[in-house]
Amino acid sequence: MGNTFGSLFRITTWGESHGGGLGVVVDGCPPGLPLSEAEVQVELDRRRPGQSDISTQRKESDAVTIVSGLFEGRTLGTPIAMLIPNRDARPEAYAEMRTTYRPSHADFTYDAKFGRRNHEGGGRSSARETAGRVAAGAIARKILREVAAVEIAAYVVRIQDIEMPPMDDMPSREAVEATAVRCPHPDTAEQMIARIKEIRGQGDSIGGVITCRVRNLPPGLGEPVFDRLEADLAKAMLSLPATKGFEIGSGFAGTRLTGSAHNDIFEMRDGRVRTRSNCSGGVQGGIANGEEVYFNVAFKPTATILQKQPTVTSSGQPAELIGRGRHDPCVVPRAVPIVEAMTALVLVDHWMRHHAQTGTFTFQEK
């Protein structure tokens, strides 16, 4: 229950933070798509821990193995299973958490729901679960590039109160990956990194905001009423650990405008219907209008901090707890590829749903 995402392009993730490994099963990928483990690994390398001095120092290669659904370098149309072993698990670091609830973690709520839990790094509730999402997102992203040259770029725009200036053009991946914080504005990135290091030195944590932008998305993708494109994007983003907010287009700032200022006026440009502005964020009536889709995702400060905090045990006794193990002082930089992966999963699912109504597509041998 709750471990599967998507309608026609469906993924099911599995595994725990300090168990034998994690993985994902992708069902619904069309046959004939050229695919290799190396292509998936590129995205996993962006998400993996231990990649900079402002992230967790857990050392995981996150080396992926595709164990089914692939033959002679192309997808079969059958389920694709991918395995990512855990190599640097240290479950002993969490012995104290067996009976003591960590503040703002899922320890208490998992007990409330299931009556039992894996206390080692949070088990299934750990952000390490997202490795499977990123692996599946790499496949979704490749499909989108093949069928429509869809571009997806996420990047950090704010860490705590440090915010980069607005950017008109979508940044390149090279610009995003140029700094450990994944902010494409170098001066702001330097300030963000310094703040994260300062907070880490205090044994504390901070959060921030990621912007995601999508270009070349054809008009017509999305569904009316319950399965609106922005609704599915919101669900995808708020399903990520540590997320606390989602806004698309003008978002909350749009509430300060009048209708005449907020309306996106239609005109003919470049031989097709376009809008002069894009307060809608590329989605109207739950359906893409062909303009750039853009949205923001808010991430809270990491729950595990290296400061002693009051809490209770599973039997209700007062206790004190200090965070142990290896954790990000700010999850936001490592969340960038995860946001991109979930965006790709939503978009490819809606692409397939759209074509189920209007036609079909396959990947032919070249």
What is the structure's pLDDT at 59?
65
Over residues 244-281, the pLDDT tens digits come to 999 999 999 999 999 999 999 999 998 999 999 999 99
- Weakly modelled stretches of the chain, pLDDT under 70: 1, 50, 56-60, 88-93, 324-326, 360-366
Element at 320 (helix H, strand E): strand 318-321
The confidence score (pLDDT) of residue 98 equals 85
Whole-prediction pTM: 0.94
User: What whole-number distance in Å separates Cα of residue 128 and Cα of residue 124?
Assistant: 8
The answer to whether the CB of 42 falls within 8 A of the CB of 48 is no
Query: For residue 365, is it within any domain?
Result: no
Q: Which sign does the torsion angle of CA 127, 51, 176, 80 carry?
A: negative
Residue 361 neighbours by CB under 8 Å, 6+ apart: 30, 147, 355
Quote the CA–CA distance of 10 and 285 in Å, as a whole number. 24
Any domain includes 364: no
Residue 213 makes CB contacts below 8 A (sequence gap 6+) with 152, 153, 154, 170, 292, 293, 294
pLDDT of residue 97: 79
| 3-state secondary structure at position 57 | coil
Question: What's the distance, CA 268 to chain centroid?
Answer: 35
| Residue 358: other Cβ atoms inside 10 A | 8
What residues are paired with 266 via a beta bridge? Answer: 275
Residue 42 lies in a domain: yes
The whole-angstrom separation of Cα 232 and Cα 235 is: 5
What is the per-residue pLDDT for 17?
A: 82
The pLDDT of residue 318 is: 92
Does residue 17 belong to any structural domain of this protein? yes
Q: How many domains does the chain have?
A: 1
CA gap 41, 306 in Å, rounded: 32
The domain that holds 66 is classified in CATH as 3.60.150.10
d(CA 53, CA 193): 9
pLDDT of residue 360: 59
Cα 170 to Cα 68, 176, 264: the distances in Å are 36, 10, 20
Q: For residue 254, tell me if it sits in a domain.
A: yes
Q: What is the pLDDT of residues 169-196, one digit of tens each?
A: 999 999 999 999 999 999 999 999 999 9
Q: Identify the domain containing residue 253 by its residue range.
A: 4-358
Q: Is residue 363 part of a domain?
A: no
